[in-house]
Amino acid sequence: MSLAPADLIAQFGYAAILIGTFLEGETILILAGFAAHQGLLRLDLAILCAFLGSAAGDQLWFALARHHGQRFLASRPGLAARIAPATRWLERYPTSFVLGFRFVYGIRNVAPIAIGLSAIPTRRFVLLNLCAAALWAGIFGSTGYYFGAAMETMLGDLKTMQLKILGGIALAVLAWFGLRWISKRFF
């Protein structure tokens, strides 16, 4: 028995949001918001899953860096070089940095490591991280939802085109990540 794409989204969408935002985030959350506008997911649950995934992923990287970071970093000078700019911003603006890093492309994945290596107390990071993850999930989930509304206004009823649009966006994202991976590996 084969499931239709809409059934797959309904059945596995929330788990995909949780896992996707644990690892990265913005794109999957915008797609989730779009899917919520199309009635395939509930926006509140998509935002909740994104909040949980994002907060948990950043807590994990923070904890790993706090306990193993210096040793891990010593064996990876390339990663240390990527963390250096984030560390400079963190030292100058600690609260703003923790609240805003997930909104700045290019430091989202290394920021929790830099914070874990810093002197910021764990309790403070947890509180700021939860606030920032909630704000981030609400903004990007709603952005995807309102993007769906705007597309529907411009194109008419999206129900007939939703899978093509979601597929096109997913292919564009995969192509972008694939090109980034290829350029890092070979160029």
**Looking at the predicted structure, is the pLDDT value of residue 1 above 60?**
no
Mean pLDDT of the chain: 85
Q: Per-domain residue ranges for the chain? A: 5-186
Please state, for a pLDDT cut of 90, what percent of the chain lies above it: 39
**What is the C-alpha to C-alpha distance for residues 26 and 50, in angstroms, rounded to an integer?**
9
21-53 pLDDT, tens per residue?
998 778 888 888 988 988 889 999 999 999 999
What global pTM score does this model have?
A: 0.76
Residue-wise pLDDT for 10-28, tens only, equals 778 899 999 989 987 788 8
Residue 109 has a pLDDT of: 80
Q: What pLDDT, in 10s, does the model give residues 127-165? A: 999 999 999 999 999 998 888 778 777 766 656 666 677
